[in-house]
Structure 1
Amino acid sequence: MVTASFTGFLKTIIILILVYYTLKYLLKLFAPVIIQQVVKKAEQSFYEQQQNVQQPRQQEFTNTSARPREKKKVGEYIDFEELE
C-alpha cells in the first residue's frame, strides 16, 4: 500500500503553482495576438455579409428602374356624405 508523504504533497502544490503562473504569463503574452486575429476574422465575415446583402438590393433597384410598375385600376373614387 502506498501512503501519501508530505514532500510529495509539497511537490504537487509547487508544480501546480508553477503551471498556473506559466500559463498566466503566456496568456498575457499571446492574448493581444489572439484577440487581434479574432477581431480581424469577425470584421471580414461582417464585411462579406454586408456585400451579400447589398448586391441583391442593387439588382432590385436596377430592375425596377428599367420598367415602370403598372398601377392597378380599382375603380372610381366615390365620396359619401353623411345623412342626418
Structure 2
Amino acid sequence: MEMASFPSLLRTLAIIILCYYLFKFFMRIFAPILMQKAVNKMQEKMQEQYKQQQEQQSRASQASTPTPKPKKEVGEYIDYEEVK
C-alpha cells in the first residue's frame, strides 16, 4: 500500500477549498434568481387556487339559493292536551 505524498495532499486540499469558494460565489449570484423563480411559481399556483375556490363558491351559492317549495296542506293542526 502506497503512502500519499505531502504535495498530493496539499493539492487535494487546495482543490476542495477552491470548489467550496466557487460554490459560495456562484450561489451568491444564482440563489436570488432561483428563489425569485420559486416564489413567482408559488404565487401563480396560489392565484390559480384562489380563482378556482371563488368559482366553486359562486357555483355553490347559485345552486343553494332556496327555491320556494309548495307546502302540503294536510289539514288543521289540533293541539291535544294530556288528561290525567
Scaled by the length of structure 1, what TM-score is found? 0.74
Question: For this pair of structures, how many residues does the alignment match?
Answer: 74
Unaligned runs of 5+ in 2: 72-76, 80-84
Measured on the aligned residues, the alpha-carbon RMSD in Å equals 2.4
Q: Classify the secondary structure of the residue corresponding to 1:38.
A: helix
| C-alpha spacing 1:43/1:8, structure 2 compared with 1 (3 Å) | same
The residue number in structure 1 matching 2:74 is none
2: distance between equivalents of 1:55 and 1:49? Answer: 10
Query: Which segment is superposed worse, 15-24 or 48-57?
Result: 48-57
| C-alpha spacing 1:11/1:69, structure 2 compared with 1 (3 Å) | farther
- Tell me whether 1:41 sits opposite 2:44 in the alignment: no
Unaligned runs of 5+ in 1: 79-84
Q: Percent of aligned positions with the same letter in both sequences?
A: 31
Q: Rg: which structure is higher? A: 2
Query: 1:69 deviation in Å?
Result: 5.2
| C-alpha spacing 1:69/1:31, structure 2 compared with 1 (3 Å) | farther
The one-letter amino acid of 2:45's match is S
| C-alpha spacing 1:69/1:17, structure 2 compared with 1 (3 Å) | farther
Scaled by the length of structure 2, what TM-score is found? 0.74
The one-letter amino acid of 1:68's match is T
